Amino acid sequence: MRTILLLALAFSINALNAQTTLTASDFKNLDGTSWKGNLMYVNYGDGREVKLRTTMQLKIKGNKISMDTQYTDEPSANGTDTIKISSDGKYLGKEEVIEKEVGENGYLKIVTRYEGKDNNRPAIMTKTYLITENTFSVSKEVSYKDTTEVLIRNKTSYTKL
């Protein structure tokens, strides 16, 4: 009986780990797509929310996701970011994948976490990626280590073109 319980526990742990790993195929529906939306961020200087209109094109090549982003109102900020999925699928760039949920009609929710500094304060950053057939959003939540303060630092929301 003890052996059966240990096997069941091991199977449960493996199943949980399998749910929190990524592969490039998780993002296959995004390859070659174009998006239009907004970036909202909280300004460090005065704490006010700022919104910028954006467009983005996504490409998937191997285990890399390339995002070419244009800021309609601030073209000097235009750029391309490439994020690599780790070979074991446990990291999206330097962010640890802590949750993955797959649903119907292309629904994908990924939650990642990493430590760093925000506004020169040690913090834990949590990003939530929500992807559907026609929408794409990423929100970044900051939890400061020296307080219970939590804030949404930025959020991008897109609709597929």
Please tell me the CATH superfamily of domain 2-160, with its number.
Calycin beta-barrel core domain (2.40.128.20)
77-91: pLDDT as tens digits: 999 999 999 999 999
- Residue-level pLDDT at 10: 44
Half-sphere exposure of 81 (CA within 13 A, CB side): 8
User: What pTM does this model have?
Assistant: 0.86
Domain spans, the chain: 2-160
pLDDT band at 149 (very low <50, low <70, confident <90, very high): confident
- Residue-level pLDDT at 105: 83
- Residue-level pLDDT at 146: 92
DSSP conformation class of 42: E
CB 110 within 8 A of CB 22: yes
